[in-house]
Amino acid sequence: MTDKSADDPARARFFTMQAVRLAGVACVVLGMLIVSQRIAWPQWLGYLLLANGLIDVLVIPTLMARKWRTPR
Contacts of 53 (CB under 8 A, 6+ apart): 23, 24, 25, 26, 27, 28, 29, 30, 31
Q: What angle do CA 20, 61, 70 make, to 5 degrees?
A: 125
Confidence check: pLDDT of 14 > 80: yes
70 membership: H or E segment, kind and range:
none
Return the domain boundaries, the chain: 16-67
Confidence check: pLDDT of 60 > 90: yes
Alpha helices in 1-72 (DSSP H): 9-35, 43-58, 60-67
Give the integer Cα–Cα distance in Å for 24 and 17: 11
Q: What integer best gives the mean pLDDT of the chain?
A: 93
pLDDT one-digit tens code per residue, 15-48: 999 999 999 999 999 999 999 999 999 999 999 9
